[in-house]
Amino acid sequence: MSAAGSGGRIQPARPGDPSRIGPYRVAGRLGAGGMGTVFAATAGDGTRVAVKVIHPSQAGDPEFRARFRREVQLSARVQGPCLLPLLAADPDADSPWLATAYVAGPTLAQHLAAHGPLADGVLYAFATGTAQALEAIHAAGVVHRDVKPQNVLLAPAGPRMVDFGIAHALDGTSVTRTGVVTGTPGWISPEHYRGGVAGAPGDLFAWGALVAYAATARLPFGGGPAEAVAYRVTTGEPDLEGVPEQLRDILESALAKEPAERTTAAEAAAGCARLLAAASTRVIGSGTAARAGHEAAAMQELVTAQWCVPAWQEDTWPRAAGGTGRRSRHRAVAAVLATAAVAGMCVGGVLALRPDGGGPAKDGGAPARSAGSGTKERASGAAGGQSAAPGGDARGRQDTDPRTVAVPTDPLAGVADPAFTRTGDEDQPAPGEWNASSAAAGPAEADAAAAIGAEVTRMLATKDMAFMKATVTFNRRAQTVVVTAGPVSTLTDDYKEVFHRAGATAACTTLAHRLKDAPTSWPYGRFSVYWKDFDGQDEATILGFGEATDGCYTGSAGQREGSEEGLTTATFPSSDKSEIQVAGRTAKALTAAWRTRVAEGHGLTPFDSDDAITLGFDPVEDTLYVWVNDTSDTLAGRAQQSHFRDVVERTACPRLLAEYNAGRRWNYTHWSAAVFQGNSPAPQFVGSGDCLPAKRRGGS
C-alpha cells in the first residue's frame, strides 16, 4: 500500500470513510492494502497530499503502534532526492496516520504492464534515482524493508521511492520480533529468509532485483509458490538476461547471496550515475566528501534530464468532502459531480493495467493466496442477478427480450437422470481444479463460454471495469465452469469482489439455462471464479464458487433483497451516460419527495443535509441502490423507515420503468434502500422491491 502517490487512480470516498484526517480534508481514495487505506486529501492551502490511515486491527496492537510511532520519528529524518518527505503524522490517534506529498504517476509495475521494460538513459536514470533514494534512507539510520515495484512511482520528474510502512532503525532499538519474515516474496533478501535479518544490505538486494525487473519486465527469481521463490532467492542465480552489460555488473554485486559482498547504496548510485552520465555525454567525478552534496545534485540533474516516460493522465482532483466521507462519495454519483472527469478517471486508471487476455497459464506463477470465504451460499448469493445471459439459451431467443426470460430456479426438477450429478455438493473446489481446466471443446461449450464472457463484460462496462476480461474454461471431471480474471495485478480487493460477483452471476444464469434446456446432456452445473495476477501463475486465487441448481440471486420468498456487496458495487461511479442522467434526476426527485412527505405531517423530520440521500447502480443484480446518511437518526423507527420505503418505490420505479420501456439496454427494475445510522459504517437495509409487474418479470 503506497502512502505517497497515485500508483492507482483516485476514487471517490466510500461509505464509512472519514471526511477529515488531522488537518486534511479527504477528497477520495488512492488505494488500500493489508495495513490500511491511503486517501487523497488537501491541506488548507490546497496542497495535495496522500494520507495513509492504519487499519483498526493493526492500530489495536500495542506492539504495532509502538513500532509505527518510532517509524514516524525515523521517517522524519529522511531527506533526499527521489523521495517524498513526511509532511505530518499522528501515531497516537485512534486510527494512526501519516501524510506525504502527492505525486501523480504509475507504479513501476503498472508502467511495465502497459509499456514494457525501461531502456537506455531512462533505465540508468531509474537505477540512479532509486539508489540515491536508498542512500538517503540509510544515511538517516532507516531500513526501507519493502523495496518492490509497487513502491516506486514513475513521477514526471523522475522515480520516487515511497512507503516506509515497515521501516526500522539500524541502531538496535527496533521493536520488531526476531525471526519474523515480513515483506513480499521475490523482494526479500537471502539473509532475511534464513534468519529474519533485515538491514541496509537487504534493501540493496531488493534494489538489484527491482532494477533487473525494470530492465526486463521479468521477475529475476521467477514466480510460483512463496516457498519456491524463497528457494531460488537463497540458492539460485537471478535472471539478468537482457540487462545492459555495464549495469549487470552493478546488479550482480547487489544480488550477492552474502550481505558483506554487496555494494552499498552510495556505491550503486555512483556507479549508475556514471552510466547515466556516459549516456548524456556528461561526467560525474569520484569527488570527496566535501563535494558529496554537489555530486548528489549533479546526479539528480542527470536523472531529470534523461527521464522520459509516457505521460500519465492525471486525475481531475475530486472535490473534498463537505460533510461525512460517505456524503462526498455518494454526492459524486447522485449529483453527477464532474461526471466526465469521473468517467475519464476510471478509464484512464485502467489503461496502464489493460491485459492482453489469454487463458490460464500452467507454468510457474505467483504464490496463491489462501482460498477466500467463497462458499456455495456466498457464491450463489454473489450471483445476485437474474439477467438472462445473451446466448445462454440453447433454443435461441434472438427475437425475445432477454430481460423477460426467466432464469430457472430449479432447472433439474423432475429430471430422472441428469448429466450433472453433483447437485447439492457443497465441497470447495479441490486444489488443482483451476489448473486442470481447459478451453471449450465443441460448439456447446464454446457458446456457453461466449455467453458468460459477454455477460461479464456487460456488467463491468458500466463501471469502467471491462478491462477485467473473463477467461472461461471447463473442468469436465469436476463438472465445473471456471471463470478467471487476468492477468491483472495491483488492483484492490473491491475490484476483485466486483469481478467475483459478475463472474458468478454470468456463470450461474448461463448454466441454469443450459441445465434446463439439455438436462441429460449438459454436465456442468457448478462454477468457480478465480483471480490471476500474471501469466505463469500455476494456481490462481479462488474468489468464490457456487451451483446453478438452486437459484442465482439473493432473496426471500421470491423477493429480491439488497446486499452489502451490491451496495459496495453501486458506490463505484457509473460511466454509462443513461445511468448518470437517471441517477442525477432520481436523487433530486427523492430529496424533494421526502421533503413533501415530511411537510404532510406524519411525524417525520427532515434530514440534516440536502445531500443525505444518494444512489447508485449495481449492474450485477440489476438493482438501483438508495442509501441515506442519517446522522440525526431521522429513520430510526419502523414507521419512519416505512415512509422512506414508500417514497423510494413511488419515486424511483416510474423512472426505472421509463428507461426499461425505452430500450433493451436498460436492465434496472429492482431497488433496495439502506440507511447508515449516525456514524456507523454498516448499512441497515430497510426495503427492497421490483418495479415490474409480476407477469412481465424475467428472472427466477
Beta-sheet pairing, 541-547 with 142-143 = unpaired
CA distance 472 to 332: 35
C-beta separation of 574 from 616 below 8 A: yes
Q: 320: which residues sit within 8 A by CB, 6+ positions away?
A: 25, 26, 27, 41, 42, 328
CA angle 16, 17, 20 (to 5 degrees): 130
C-beta separation of 1 from 32 below 8 A: yes
Sequential DSSP letters for 612-674? -EEEEEETTTTEEEEEEEETT-TT-SHHHHHHHHHHHHHHHHHHHHHHHHH-TT----EEEEE
Q: 151: which residues sit within 8 A by CB, 6+ positions away?
A: 2, 107, 161, 162, 163
Q: How would you label 346-370 residue by residue, b for 16+ Cβ within 10 Å and e otherwise? A: bebbbebbebeeeebbeebbbbbee
CA distance 640 to 607: 12
Q: 677: which residues sit within 8 A by CB, 6+ positions away?
A: 630, 633, 635, 636, 684
Supply 275's cell numbers: 552510466
Q: 93: which residues sit within 8 A by CB, 6+ positions away?
A: 22
C-beta separation of 413 from 434 below 8 A: no
* Cα separation values, 423 from 218, 286, 445, 548, Å: 43, 74, 20, 9
CA distance 265 to 253: 11
Active-site pick, 17, 146, 464, 618: 146
CA distance 51 to 2: 10
CA distance 695 to 693: 6
Pick from 42, 48, 47, 51: nearest CA to 2: 51
Q: How would you label 664-687 residue by residue, b for 16+ Cβ within 10 Å and e otherwise? A: eebbbbbbbbbbbbeeeeebbbbb
Give the alpha-carbon dihedral of 572, 577, 580, 584, to 10 degrees.
170
* 146 catalytic per annotation: yes
Please give the single-letter amino acid code of residue 213: Y
Phi, psi of 503 (to 5 degrees): -65, -40
Q: 520: which residues sit within 8 A by CB, 6+ positions away?
A: 415, 417, 418, 419
C-beta separation of 617 from 579 below 8 A: yes
Pick from 47, 54, 60, 57: nearest CA to 72: 54
Pick from 388, 622, 350: nearest CA to 468: 350
CA distance 38 to 153: 15
* Relative orientation angle of helices 245-254 and 200-216, to the nearest 10 degrees: 150
Residue corresponding to grid cell 472535490: 319
User: 443: buried, middle or exposed (CB in 10 Å: 19+, 13-18, 0-12)?
Assistant: exposed
CA distance 607 to 647: 14
Active site amino acids:
146
